[in-house]
Every structure is written in C-alpha cells, then in structure tokens.
A and B are shown apart, each in its own frame.
Chain A
Amino acid sequence: MALVISIPGLVRLAIVRDPDELLRVNDAGTVTRPLSGRGGLFNRSVAAKLAAFRTADGDIWPAFRDRYDPLRAVHQAKLESRLSNVEPLLQDIAPEITELGNYVGGGHAHRGMGVVVQQAVGRLFFADYVASEESYEAARTLQAWLSAWPLRACWIKHSGALKASLDRIEAASRGNMACAHATALALENLVMSIELMRELARHGDNLAKIEPQEAAIRTLRAPARVVRETRDGDFIGTLRLRSRTLILLALEDAHQQDAAKLGFAFFTGTWNQCPAHGLVPTLLRKVWEGAKTSAERRA
C-alpha cells in the first residue's frame, strides 16, 4: 500500500512501492508526467527541478514528455527500433565493453569508469561521441540537482553549474534529446550496475561461478524514483489520491521485490517503456563476459 503524506502548504505526496500498484498508478489516466508544482512547497521545489530540463528553444527532454504527447510516441518508437538491433550496436562499443569488463574483473582503469559508461552510451547515438571527465562531471551535476537538498540545489543553480552542465550535455548530444537523457541521467543506473558487478566479482570465485545472465539479474538497477502527479483526484484501485499529489514511484524498490523480472526496471510493456529495455541487460551480460575473459587473461 502506498504511503501518503499530506501537510497543507508543505507537501502532498504519495510513495508507491508495491509493483502491481506502481503499474496501476503509472497507467492511470489522471496521472501525468509534467508537474504543476501545486500541492505544497515540496511539490513546487520538485517541479522547479524538472523544469530545468528544457532546451534553449523550449524543447522537452524525452523522459518528461507526457503520455499523450505525439512526439513522445514517435521518438520512443524510433529509438526503440534503433536500439533493438542489439548485437551490431554492442559491436560498435566493443572497446568500451572490454574496458568495463576489465574494470569489473579487477583490472586497473586508465580513466573513470563513469566516463567509459558515458562514452559507451553516447556512442549508441553517435559513433564519434567522446566522453570526458568534464562531460561526466556535468552528468553527475545534473543527477545531483535532481536529488539535492534545498541548500545544495540552490548552490548548483546559482553557481551556474546547472546551466553549464545542461549546455555541455546538450552540446555533446548535438540536440538529440534522447542522447542527452541517456548520457546525463539514465547512465547513473548503468554506472551503479557496473559498480555492483565489480563488487560481485571481487567476492570468492563469483566471477567464474556466476553466469552472465545471473550477474545481470543481480546487478541491474532501476531508477530509484520516478515522479508523477495527479491532475485531478481519483481512486486508482483502492488508493485514493487527491488532486495535485506528487507521486514517487519507487521503481528500484519495486524491482527488487522480484529482481528476476528485468523488464520491470524498464517499465516494459507499459506506455513509457524504456527504449533500451533489450539493450541494457545484454550489455551487462557482455561486460560480465568481458570481466571473465579479462580475469582469465591476467591469471
């Protein structure tokens, strides 16, 4: 059952953890992606953070496009079709996969693992995408912006770091909003998964014992929270949500309740399924295989 918190003027919030309930809420007609900022100060601050993810001409990042936005559906279908060609795409980023495999296998990294992940993700969109410490730092800043407490958020905004990071990510993505989203926000989960893989590999003879598929299941991480808002009050199943309730879909918590279902982490089968739902698990398997190879070579 969802946790609902309502303090007039401060917050109107529902946290949904149960997988079935989460899917029901995600699919409800009255639940929207764009946030109005109404409902309390907390709601307003979260909405203000998401409002930053617009391009200079007002274009909207794909993860913040509403369900019935015709462009969202078009972009999603186009990207999904492109990313469904998994094997050739992974061939294109074979050097990065090898580098990540080496890292997971305990090898020494010549550059930050996050940078490698960012470059791998970026090259799924542009063959010549080059990530750097600066571009990865920009991604980290944007991730921090979304989860920062008010003082830090204020610093990120007023120091100019937010604007600079957005500019850097958008420039590197050459106006491709899906690339910007992937190389700034979505890569956070991939980085976390690679770190978990390295942890997993370090313990005993896990690297030799655990199959790639199993490793992918154990380490795949979904976004911790996905935000939504109810425009009007409604009952969703037995859950009563008042109008302008900010909804936190605790996706990772829900995913961990049945981690074997990899699709859950990507909202597979729903209107907002991640176009990379087929690619990421395969990428993780390849990285694990690469780690095995790397460890064997060193041995």
Chain B
Amino acid sequence: MSRENDGFVFHRGLLQGVLDIVFRAINFFARWDHLPTLLAAANLSVFRDRLREHNLHHTGYGTTSPGWSTGNERWRSADGSFNSLDHPRMGMAGARFGRNFPLPECVPDSGNDLLDPSPRVISQELLARHTFIPATSINLLAAAWIQFETHNWFSHGLPKPGNEFKIPLPPGDDWPEEELIDGCMKIRRTVCDGSTREPWLGATPTFRNLNSHWWDAGQIYGSSRERQMQIRSGVDGKIAVGNDGMLPADPDHQGADLTGFNDNWWVGLGLLHNLFAREHNVICDGLKTRYPTWGDEELFQRARLINAALIAKIHTVEWTPGILGHPALDLSMHANWSGIPNRVLRAVLGKDSEAAYGIIGSPTDQHSAPYAMTEEFTAVYRLHPLVPDKMEVRKLDTTDSKSYDLVDMQGRASRAFMQTHGFVDLLYSFGTAHPGAIRLHNYPNFLRKFTKDEQPLLDVAAIDIMRDRERGVPRYNRFRELVGKKRVTTFEEITSIPGAARKMRAIYKGDVDRVDLMVGLLAEDLPDGFGFSDTAFRIFILMASRRLKSDRFFTDDYRAEVYTDFGLDWIQNNGMKSVLLRHVPQLGPALEGVNNSFAPWNVSGG
C-alpha cells in the first residue's frame, strides 16, 4: 500500500490496537449509536482509526509542481500548493481526487451495466418529491451552508458536450423531444483527466478537482491567484464590496456575485458569501488596528487564515451537531476542535493527543495517503433533497410572508431576488424555513427538469446517479462493506420507508447488490437524531477529521506567529451566531435563545 500511497503509512498505537479489539467485541452486540455517550464517542474514534488505516488511497497528483511564492510558508497559497512543504502538490487546485477504497474496487461497471437500471426511472420512481418532507430540526441556512462548504472543497468542472451517456426513457416519459439524442436523454460525462496516468492506477478512472482540496475558504477567495486578485479591493486587505455593502456582480456570470467560486449560484449562497465577505473585512479592520504597518497583502492573507478557520470551526462544532443530532456527535465534534474538557483524560493521553486537546494545534498527519478530497466523499455529499421547491420569504418587521419557487431564486435571477427582498429579510427567512429531509421521494422537482446556462436540460437526480456510476464509486452494498459495515441481503434490511423496498426490488430486479449508492443512502434507516445515513457518516468520520488533521494551518502552524494572537482569539470567541449578529444585528430577537444557528430561529410577530 505504501508504494502507491507515496510512502505514507498509518502507524497504529498500542492503545488504538487494544481499543480496536474491545470495540469489535462490543459492536458484535451493540451498535455504536446505542452506546452511552462517552463510549459511543470512543467507538467513533476507533472507527476513524480503522478508516485512516484502510480507507485512504492515493491516485497520483495529476499535476505539475507549482512554483514557490513569497509567503507560502506563512499563509495559504491561492491554489492550495505548499500546504505540505514536503509535498507541494498535495491538495492543490487541479490535483486528482483520491479514493476511500482500494483502487480495484473503484472501477465503473462496463457496457450496459453502467446504465442499468435507468437513472431516469430511479429519478421518477424513487427520488421524485410527491409532498415536501421537511427536516424540522434544522433551518434552510444549514442547506445553503453545506453547498457553501462543498464549493470550498471540490468541483469536477462543467461537463463539455460530446460522447454523452444516452439514457433510454421509459414509456410515457415527458422529457422534451428537442432535448433527446437518438430518442434518449443525454447526460454529459464528467470532465476527463487528461494528465498522464500512473501504471499502478489499473482500471480506476481519475478526475481532477478544479478547486483546492483544503479547507481554506476557497469558495470565497478562489483557487487561483488571478481569481483572488479579482475579488480584492486592493485596500487594507479587504474584499471588494459595493456601496450597499454587498458583493459586486460577476461580469462573467450573470446573476452571480463576484466571489471565489460561484457555480450553481442561488440566493442561499449569496447570503453566506456576503456574510463571510463582511466578516473578512471586519477581521482586516481588527488586524489593521493592531498591526498598522502591514500592507494590503499581509492583511488579506492573515484575515483569510482567520476567516477560513472560523468557517471550519462553525462547520465542526455547529453545523455538524446540528444535522447529526446525537450526543456522541456533539461531544466528538467539540473534541475534534478543542479536545475533551477533562483534566484527567488530558493528563493521561498527553499533549499531542487529538482526543484530549483536539486536532487543532496537534501535529500534522496524513495517515496512510497524501491528502486529497475523494470521489466517495463527493458521493456522500449529494444532499439535494435538502433543497425545497418553494420557500416562504418573511419580513423581519411584519408578519407578512409570501411563497416563492426556488427556481426563481437561483441562476440569473439570484441577484435581482436578493435586491428585491433584501439581505436581512432573506437571512431571516432562511433561518426560519426548514430544508427537506435527506430521504427517498424528496428530491426537489425543479432540479429534475432544470435549465442551466451552457448545459442541456438537466435531470439532476438522474445525473447524480450517473456520476457515482461513471466515477467508479461502488454501489451501496459494496460501499457498506468497504466502510466496515455488513452487507445487507434484503431490501427490507435497508429501509422501512413504506413501499420503498418493494419499489427498489422491482427496479433493481431483486438484486440488492445493484442498488445505487445514493438510493441506498437516501433509503437507509437513520440512527436517532441523524439527518443523513450512517453509511455516509462513515466517510464523514474519516474526512471531517482529515480536512483538519492533514492541514498544516490547522495543526503545526495553528499558532500566534501565523494567525496572530488577535486571530486565535477571534476564532476562539466567535461562532455563527456572533457572526450573524455582528453583521445583521436586527436578527437579535430571531436568534434569542437559539443555541445553534442552524436550528430553526424564532419567528417574530412583527
């Protein structure tokens, strides 16, 4: 393994070895989520170590060595290079996606098997939303947040025409005639990786990430120096904003704000981008006050470091426990960031223990492979059911509300919608609306017949299914096995959603091994409090920690010399609520008594 993984090897400690055996025995009798909180959190830590050992696989970098720029040692480079000073290409924009499974497991089906069963039939029969199923424990800002974050982590690029998949349509399908090719629905393929393939890749396809793989707020700051310079004001390190305090329009992308990454733009992204652009500028002000001799570049880069870390913290200790409402998760995610607040445990486990003191500030470790986002990670983050088809836009100062179609709040219409309804009211509306539950039969219908610039008419649900298949992500049952869960033998073992097992059996012709990953994840019965499946969560356990542990700026270089004392305090003392209240103090009543900003806010009486 080490030869393929560029020399990285996982080193298991004695305690980890012992705990592994103990929890194998415990899990023989009890699932992790049924254990008492502390034991369950320890169980998750054991899962994570197993995954770190077996579920990180290198696919080569697929990019050339970047040139050194001044400051790379002190702050994040625009393209993510030199995060690892020994392996400068690791995680940079344009580097390949890695894998969570051994490469021979990540080979797409051949020939007709790739299109079987029809993704269009799955879209219609298993995914289409009949009635909106809300996720009542979180607000719509949580849905926008995860898209905001995934735009930081990955992009496969915009598919190009030519050599499309031809998806046969079932009888009576109303897909428009003019969109057909040879009587079939067309789905463009993922942009191919044109870099030289290493001979050990075997039959595993590789794809490149246009964005930097790191948790560096690249969605705000871009993944290239050129983009970074476009979004900057050039004064005091600040991001350019208009006279109204909002991000300017992107001249090349109608309806979208000028920001680091603005693909698939909609109002939800506009809110968060504006919020954290303002946060960046406030941080710049704070730094400028304390370090008046710093120029624009130094202020910008330091503020970026602080802002990116704050976003990572919010994601770790607020968004995640918000969507995965299990007490062990709450404990584990806080432990990931700042360790277990127990003096005895800290003394026993020692200063470098990530369990005792948190990953933040602990030594950097890539474990068994060079850091990269993985195809499997992108697959488990297909969370489109979070998006509703309609949304109530409320006004903070009145009880008025009006329902709008989401389709009218996205793409070219986004900025106009924001201007019409205003930043404050829209934030309030997002905070008080529910997203969809991540379940079967809850895929937004407007995305199943979706128009996007420079693309054919899209059934995004069918595309989601095809993306996993074409990228060689294993189907659901094998995916379960490869993340350390038992395979299921019947459809009823997957789901108790009424009628779902019967429908799946018919579509998959009784073969439970053929169930698509996304279908299985959406069908799976959830642990108590969870917003998405336990199978997806296994990848999450591994990658959520890895985004921090592999990144020098969250580990070895999380120190005052890099962040400044002001920066460390800022990250320590702030969270989503304080960010919201700093920039939109009018939200005070709506957020009063709300512990987690991704939980539903108070609806005011006007």
Chain A contact residues, CB within 8 Å of chain B: 29, 32, 34, 36, 38, 54, 56-60, 65-72, 231-234, 243-244
Q: How far, in Å, is A116 (CB) from chain B's closest CB?
A: 31
Whether A70 and B105, one on each chain, are in contact in the complex, defined by CB atoms closer than 8 angstroms, is no
* B109 contacts across to A, CB distance below 8 A: 29
Contact partner, A243, options B107, B110, B197, B513, Cβ 8 Å = B513
- Please measure, in the bound complex, the distance between the C-alpha atom of A59 and the C-alpha atom of B197, giving whole angstroms: 12
Whether B203 and A70, one on each chain, are in contact in the complex, defined by CB atoms closer than 8 angstroms, is yes
A-contacting 9-mer, from B82-90, B210-218, B474-482, B530-538: B474-482
B104: CB under 8 A from chain A?
yes
Contact partner, B102, options A36, A68, A232, A233, Cβ 8 Å = A36
* A60 contacts across to B, CB distance below 8 A: 199-200, 202
Whether B113 and A68, one on each chain, are in contact in the complex, defined by CB atoms closer than 8 angstroms, is no
Whether B107 and A56, one on each chain, are in contact in the complex, defined by CB atoms closer than 8 angstroms, is no
* B105 contacts across to A, CB distance below 8 A: 36, 231
Whether B203 and A69, one on each chain, are in contact in the complex, defined by CB atoms closer than 8 angstroms, is yes
Given A232-B475, A232-B513: A66 and B202 within 8 A (CB)? yes
Q: What would be 9 A-B contacts, judged by CB atoms less than 8 Å apart?
A: A32-B104, A36-B104, A58-B199, A58-B200, A60-B202, A69-B203, A70-B197, A71-B202, A234-B511
Whether B3 and A54, one on each chain, are in contact in the complex, defined by CB atoms closer than 8 angstroms, is yes
Interface members, chain B 85-128 (any A CB < 8 Å):
102, 104-105, 107-111, 113
Given A36-B104, A38-B481, A68-B107: A58 and B203 within 8 A (CB)? no
Q: Which of B4, B104, B200 has the most CB of A within 10 A?
A: B104
Interface bin, chain B: 20 to 34
Whether B104 and A58, one on each chain, are in contact in the complex, defined by CB atoms closer than 8 angstroms, is no
* B478 contacts across to A, CB distance below 8 A: 231-232, 243
- Please measure, in the bound complex, the distance between the C-alpha atom of A56 and the C-alpha atom of B475, giving whole angstroms: 32
Q: Which of A68, A72, A233, A243 has the most CB of B within 10 A?
A: A68
- Please measure, in the bound complex, the distance between the C-alpha atom of A71 and the C-alpha atom of B475, giving whole angstroms: 25
* A57 contacts across to B, CB distance below 8 A: 3, 199-200
Q: How far, in Å, is B505 (CB) from chain A's closest CB?
A: 15
Given A32-B104, A234-B511: A71 and B199 within 8 A (CB)? yes
Whether B104 and A66, one on each chain, are in contact in the complex, defined by CB atoms closer than 8 angstroms, is yes
Known: A68-B203, A70-B203. 14 other contacts (CB 8 A): A29-B110, A32-B104, A34-B102, A58-B4, A58-B198, A58-B200, A67-B110, A68-B108, A69-B203, A232-B475, A232-B513, A232-B514, A234-B513, A244-B481
Whether A65 and B513, one on each chain, are in contact in the complex, defined by CB atoms closer than 8 angstroms, is no
- Please measure, in the bound complex, the distance between the C-alpha atom of A72 and the C-alpha atom of B204, giving whole angstroms: 12
- Please measure, in the bound complex, the distance between the C-alpha atom of A67 and the C-alpha atom of B108, giving whole angstroms: 11
For residue A68, which residue of chain B has the nearest CB?
A: B203
Q: How far, in Å, is A211 (CB) from chain B's closest CB?
A: 43
Q: How far, in Å, is A285 (CB) from chain B's closest CB?
A: 35
B487: CB under 8 A from chain A?
yes
For residue A59, which residue of chain B has the nearest CB?
A: B199
Q: How far, in Å, is A164 (CB) from chain B's closest CB?
A: 18
For residue B107, which residue of chain A has the nearest CB?
A: A68
The 10 closest A-B pairs by CB, nearest first: A34-B104, A58-B200, A232-B513, A68-B203, A69-B203, A58-B3, A66-B203, A59-B199, A58-B4, A69-B202
Whether A29 and B3, one on each chain, are in contact in the complex, defined by CB atoms closer than 8 angstroms, is no
* A58 contacts across to B, CB distance below 8 A: 3-4, 198-200
Chain B contact residues, CB within 8 Å of chain A: 3-4, 102, 104-105, 107-111, 113, 197-200, 202-203, 475, 477-478, 481, 487, 511, 513-514
* A38 contacts across to B, CB distance below 8 A: 481
* A32 contacts across to B, CB distance below 8 A: 104, 107
- Please measure, in the bound complex, the distance between the C-alpha atom of A233 and the C-alpha atom of B515, giving whole angstroms: 12
* A69 contacts across to B, CB distance below 8 A: 202-203
- Please measure, in the bound complex, the distance between the C-alpha atom of A38 and the C-alpha atom of B477, giving whole angstroms: 14
Q: How far, in Å, is B50 (CB) from chain A's closest CB?
A: 15
* A71 contacts across to B, CB distance below 8 A: 197, 199, 202
- Please measure, in the bound complex, the distance between the C-alpha atom of A66 and the C-alpha atom of B203, giving whole angstroms: 6
Q: How far, in Å, is A228 (CB) from chain B's closest CB?
A: 12
Q: How far, in Å, is A255 (CB) from chain B's closest CB?
A: 27
Whether A243 and B487, one on each chain, are in contact in the complex, defined by CB atoms closer than 8 angstroms, is yes
* A244 contacts across to B, CB distance below 8 A: 481
For residue A66, which residue of chain B has the nearest CB?
A: B203
- Please measure, in the bound complex, the distance between the C-alpha atom of A29 and the C-alpha atom of B114, giving whole angstroms: 11
* B475 contacts across to A, CB distance below 8 A: 232
* B197 contacts across to A, CB distance below 8 A: 70-71
* A66 contacts across to B, CB distance below 8 A: 104, 107, 202-203
* B3 contacts across to A, CB distance below 8 A: 54, 56-58
Whether B477 and A232, one on each chain, are in contact in the complex, defined by CB atoms closer than 8 angstroms, is yes
- Please measure, in the bound complex, the distance between the C-alpha atom of A246 and the C-alpha atom of B200, giving whole angstroms: 23
For residue B487, which residue of chain A has the nearest CB?
A: A243
* B198 contacts across to A, CB distance below 8 A: 58
* A70 contacts across to B, CB distance below 8 A: 197, 203
- Please measure, in the bound complex, the distance between the C-alpha atom of A269 and the C-alpha atom of B526, giving whole angstroms: 49
Q: How far, in Å, is A271 (CB) from chain B's closest CB?
A: 10
Whether B203 and A67, one on each chain, are in contact in the complex, defined by CB atoms closer than 8 angstroms, is yes
Q: How far, in Å, is B148 (CB) from chain A's closest CB?
A: 36
For residue B112, which residue of chain A has the nearest CB?
A: A29
For residue B202, which residue of chain A has the nearest CB?
A: A69
For residue B114, which residue of chain A has the nearest CB?
A: A29
Whether B202 and A54, one on each chain, are in contact in the complex, defined by CB atoms closer than 8 angstroms, is no
- Please measure, in the bound complex, the distance between the C-alpha atom of A72 and the C-alpha atom of B200, giving whole angstroms: 11
For residue B109, which residue of chain A has the nearest CB?
A: A29
- Please measure, in the bound complex, the distance between the C-alpha atom of A56 and the C-alpha atom of B198, giving whole angstroms: 13
* A234 contacts across to B, CB distance below 8 A: 511, 513
- Please measure, in the bound complex, the distance between the C-alpha atom of A32 and the C-alpha atom of B108, giving whole angstroms: 12
* B108 contacts across to A, CB distance below 8 A: 68
For residue A231, which residue of chain B has the nearest CB?
A: B478
- Please measure, in the bound complex, the distance between the C-alpha atom of A234 and the C-alpha atom of B4, giving whole angstroms: 31
Q: How far, in Å, is A172 (CB) from chain B's closest CB?
A: 20
* A68 contacts across to B, CB distance below 8 A: 107-108, 110, 203
Given A232-B513, A234-B513: A34 and B110 within 8 A (CB)? no
- Please measure, in the bound complex, the distance between the C-alpha atom of A180 and the C-alpha atom of B293, giving whole angstroms: 65
Whether A54 and B511, one on each chain, are in contact in the complex, defined by CB atoms closer than 8 angstroms, is no
* B513 contacts across to A, CB distance below 8 A: 232-234, 243
- Please measure, in the bound complex, the distance between the C-alpha atom of A234 and the C-alpha atom of B478, giving whole angstroms: 13
Q: How far, in Å, is A106 (CB) from chain B's closest CB?
A: 45
Given A29-B109, A29-B110, A231-B478: A54 and B203 within 8 A (CB)? no
Contact partner, B477, options A36, A54, A56, A243, Cβ 8 Å = A243
- Please measure, in the bound complex, the distance between the C-alpha atom of A68 and the C-alpha atom of B107, giving whole angstroms: 8
- Please measure, in the bound complex, the distance between the C-alpha atom of A60 and the C-alpha atom of B514, giving whole angstroms: 29
- Please measure, in the bound complex, the distance between the C-alpha atom of A36 and the C-alpha atom of B481, giving whole angstroms: 11
For residue A32, which residue of chain B has the nearest CB?
A: B104
* A243 contacts across to B, CB distance below 8 A: 477-478, 481, 487, 513
For residue B489, which residue of chain A has the nearest CB?
A: A233
